[in-house]
Structures are given as C-alpha cells and as structure tokens.
Structure 1
Amino acid sequence: MSETSAEDRIWTVPNLLSFLRLLGVPVFLWLVLGPKADGWGIAVLAVAGFTDWLDGKIARAFNQTSRLGRIIDPAADKLYVFSTILALLVRDIIPWWLVALILARELFVACFIPVLRRHGYRALQVHFLGKAAMFNLMYAFPLLFLASHTGWYAEMARVTGWAFAVWGTGLYWWAGVLYVVQVRRLITSTTKE
C-alpha cells in the first residue's frame, strides 16, 4: 500500500474509536443535563479520555495514521471540552469567565488559520503543551461535576478540580501562544524563500 493511499484511509481502528467518541458527546450532554446522571456522564468522559489515548497509541503502533484521523481526533476533543463546559455552565457549576477564557483562546487561535491556508499550510501538528492542557481540562471537568454533589468527596473534588481547571486553562493559552509563534515562523520562512 502506498503512503498516499495509507493517508487516505477511512476505515481504521483509531478512526472508529474517534467516531465512537463523537457519538458519545450527545449521550454525555443528555446524561448530565436531562436526568442529571453525573456518574454515568463521568463514565462517558472517562471512556472518551481512554479511547482518545488508545486511538493515538494504535495509530502510531500499527501505522494507522490518516488525514481523517488528524481531523476527527482533535474535533472530538474540542466537542467534549465545549459540551462539558456548556453543561457545567448551564448547571451553574462553573462561572461564565472560565468559559469565556477557554472560548477566547479558541477564537484567538482560529484567527490564524486563514493566514496558514493563505500560505499553503493546512494545520500545524498538535503541540505537547496543547495535549497537556487538554489532559488537565479533561480531569478538571469530571471533578467539578463531583464537587457539585454533597458527598464526602465533594470538597476534595472541588479543590482538585479547580486546580486542574486553572492549570489546564493556563496551559491552553500558553499552547495557543506557541501555535501563533509557529505560524509566524512558518510564514517568515516561506516569505524568505
């Protein structure tokens, strides 16, 4: 199989896992906003986090990376983040300013996508810092759901959840700034050629 056709593959195990993660987003929203079954909602988030890790491992170990996978994997991550912060905001668990910070970072980075495309680039590789930020946020959100309960674990979940949320949001912005630095370097190097 040539490398070009390998890049165009759709039916791979990592892509299937990413599609399943995408299907879990509305299930998660229904669980936490409808019956407020937070335990099941957190289970969906945990499975999504595990399959996010697993699809990357499988893609690299069995050479199943694809163009589609590089699109749907981060799309699933972002949908989980946005749906989770939406649910947390609707349930009045997190303040609007945290949502505004996360969404502002997305808008900030999105402003540079047309610049990349104008110079012939599609997207940049996901930076390790961006993955670390997502890791922190995906830990923060289930903990913040638990913190909204009255069990013995609520206070510990609140402190730990907020620590992950603040750290994750900071890393998210830092990764966004590094993304802009990468864009600037690419543009500078192509204009010098």
Structure 2
Amino acid sequence: MSETSAEDRIWTVPNLLSFLRLLGVPVFLWLVLGPKEDGWAIGVLAVAGFTDWLDGKIARAFHQTSRLGRLIDPAADKLYVFSTIFALLVREIIPWWLVAAILLREAFVGCSILVLRKYGYRALQVHFLGKAAMFNLMYAFPLLFLASHVGWYADIAQIVGWAFALWGTGLYWWAGVLYVVQVRQLVTEAKKE
C-alpha cells in the first residue's frame, strides 16, 4: 500500500473510535441536560477520554494514521469541550468567564487558521501543550460535575477540578499563542518568496 493511499484510509480502528466518540456527544448532552444523570454523563466523558488516548496509541503503533483521523480526532475533542462547558454553564456549575476564556481562545486560533489557508497552508500539527491543555480540561469537567453534588468527595473534587480547569485554560491559551507565533513565521516566509 502506498503512503498516499494509507493516508486516505477511512476504515481504521482509530477512526472508528473517533466516530464512536463523536456519537457520545449528544448522549452526554442529553444525560446532563435531560434527566440530569451526572454519573452516566461522567462515564461518557471517561470513555471519551480513554478512547481519545487509545485511538492515538493504536494509530501510531499500527501505522493507521490518516488524513480523516487528523480531522475528526481534534474535532471530537473540541465538541466534548464545547458541549461540556455549555452543559456546565447551563447547570450553573461554572461561571461565564471561564466559558468566555475558552471560546475566546478558540476564536483567536481560528483567525490564524484562516490566515494560514489564505497563504495555502493547512492547519498545523497539534502542539504538545495543546494536548496537555485538553487533558487538563477533560479531567476538570467531570470533577466539577462531581463537585456540584453533596458528598464527602465534593470539596476535594471542587479543589482538584478547579486546579485542572485553571491550569488547562492557561495551557490552552499558551498553546494558542505558540500556534499563532508559528503561523506568523510561516506567513512571513511566504511573503518573502
């Protein structure tokens, strides 16, 4: 199989895991906003986090990386983040300023992607800091759900959840700034040519 055809594969195990993760988004939202089954919702988030880790491991170990996988994997991550912060905001578990900080960062990076495309580049590879930020946020949200309940674990979940949320948001912005710096370098080089 040639390198080009391998990149164009659709039916791979990592892509299947990413598709399943995408299907979990509406289930998660329904659980949180409908019957308010937070335990099941946290389970969906946990499975999503595990499959996010697993699809990357499988893709690298078995050479199943693909163009589609590079699109749907981060898309699924972002959908989980957006749906989770939306649900947490609607349930009044997190304040609007945290949601604004995350959404403003997305707009900030989104504008740089438009600039990249104008100069003929595709989106850049996800930076390690971006992955670390997503890791922190994906841990923060279930903990903040737990913190909204009454129980011996609520105070601990609140402290640790907010630590992950703040650290994750900071890393998310830092990764965004690094992304924009890379975009600026590419655009500067493109203008010289």
Please tell me the TM-score bracket, short chain as reference.
over 0.9
TM-score in terms of structure 1 length = 0.99
Instruction: Supply the AA of the counterpart residue of 2:94.
Output: I
Deviation digits for residues 110-160 of structure 1 (CA, Å, limit 9, x no counterpart): 011121011111100000000000000000000000000001100000000
1:112 aligns to what SS in structure 2?
A: helix
Where do 1:28-67 residues align within 5 Å? Answer: 28-67=28-67
- 2:123 corresponds to which residue? 123
2:126 maps to 1:134: no
**Alignment-derived partner of residue 76 in structure 1:** 76
Q: CA RMSD in A?
A: 0.6
- Cα distance in structure 2, aligned partners of 1:86 and 1:114: 25
Which residue pairs with 2:154 in the alignment?
A: 154
Name the counterpart of 1:100. Answer: 100
Deviation at 1:185, TM superposition (A): 1.0
**Rounded Cα–Cα distance in structure 1 between residues aligned with 2:85 and 2:74:** 17
Shift of 1:21: 0.1
Can you give the 5+ residue segments of structure 1 that lack an aligned partner in the other structure? none
Q: Distance in 2 between matches of 1:23 and 1:6?
A: 25
Q: TM-score by structure 2 length?
A: 0.99
The equivalences for 1:167-178 within 5 A come to 167-178=167-178
Q: Deviations over 1:55-93 (max 9, x none)?
A: 000001111000000000000000000000000000000
Q: Distance in 2 between matches of 1:88 and 1:100?
A: 13
Q: CA deviation at 1:190?
A: 2.2
Runs of 4+ in 1 over 4 A off after TM superposition: none
The alignment covers a number of residue pairs equal to: 193
Give CA deviations for 1:18-74 in whole Å, capped at 9, x if unaligned. Answer: 000000000001111111111110000000000000000000111100000000000
**Gaps (5+ residues) in structure 2?**
none
The letter for the 2-side match of 1:43 is G
SS of structure 2 residue aligned to 1:111? helix
Counterparts of 1:108 and 1:192, CA distance in 2 = 25
Partner of 2:18: 18
